[in-house]
Amino acid sequence: MEVLCSAAHRWAEAALHVPSISCLMRIPKGSLTSLTTLELSGGLNDHFDPAKLTVFSGAPNLHTLNLSINYPTRIPMPWGQLTSLTFSEFPLTCLDILRRCTRLVTAGFWTEGWEFLPDMSLISMVTIASLTSLSITFPETRYPCEHFMPLLSRLTLPELKVLRLYLHQQDMTWDTVEFTRFQLRSPSLEELTVDNSPLISDALIAVLRNSPSLVRLTVSNCPHSFDDNVINTLRYPGENGHCIAPKLKEIVLTQAGQNFDPENLEEMIRSRWWTKDELAALPSPPAVARWTKVSVYAGSEYSYRRFRRVFDARFDYTHPSA
């Protein structure tokens, strides 16, 4: 460890996996002038105060940080200069960390929900104008953590383009009203992934209605989210009609529901898909983007065969660029 730390002035990227972070006290202060990327994991010694480990806070070029330690806020870090951050913490502490990171561009964290709906009125809003990509994972726990939306209720992300939500905790709920408010504070969203969520079709329709910039949608393991109501909402009615999610080009649905008619799905796809020649023949450009990818796996071999019979008989698979 002594030899490794003596070369700290040469580190540009460092992955430090140590049994106790106290051993990192051997890094000379002021030596991390070249460090840009840090991955840190290790235990906290009961007899060591992590606030004494100040060497990383003096790394002037550190912008990418991946923390796999307990209580990461106890270690001084140059939060305000970070552009990429990955960590794991309790939800309120996640908000506290994000509040310090005013220059973040990408962020990902693991956290948990609340068993009972918390009062967030005393928690001030966290605004990060630079953040474009956010991934939040709620890993499975042994106890119920029903509410996760209060976390989003304190976030304002005006430039957010990518949001990924992985909801693996027990009995989580989807608050449509609160998520709509979040969308209104994040109007630039282009890519949304929702996995293992209690999302129902009415909630998905609300998401689509408030996604004017959405280009890619991925929904997986949400078995009640996709049905004929969603399909009918996505259908493009023509130049004189209104269509939601006008920029949507890609939709990937995996085990998102089976309660829909494949012929109805085929008609919806056709309403937003044209060959190059068909586009040229239109009197005016359509008000919606044309599909570049539609993937639907309903979760059964029967459904798959049923789809193929309909699509093979009725759909022209020519790529839109043809």
**CA-CA distance, 236 to 250, in Å (whole number)?**
15
CATH code of the domain containing 161: 3.80.10
Cα 244 to Cα 106, 191, 230, 247: the distances in Å are 28, 15, 11, 9
Q: Give the per-residue pLDDT at 322.
A: 40
Task: Residue 129: give the domain boundaries.
Answer: 58-314
| Mean pLDDT within 84-93 | 95
**CA-CA distance, 148 to 118, in Å (whole number)?**
10
**CA-CA distance, 115 to 148, in Å (whole number)?**
9
Task: Write down the residue that tokens 């490794």 correspond to.
Answer: 4
**CA-CA distance, 298 to 307, in Å (whole number)?**
10
Number of domains in the chain: 1
| Mean pLDDT within 298-306 | 62
pTM of the complete model beyond 0.85: yes
Q: Is 2 domain-assigned?
A: no
Task: Write down the residue that tokens 């990818």 correspond to.
Answer: 293
Q: Is 33 domain-assigned?
A: no
Q: Is 206 domain-assigned?
A: yes
Q: Is 39 domain-assigned?
A: no
**Which amino acid is it at 9?**
H
DSSP annotation of 192 reads E
Q: Is 138 domain-assigned?
A: yes
pLDDT in tens, 165-196: 999 876 899 999 999 999 999 999 999 999 99
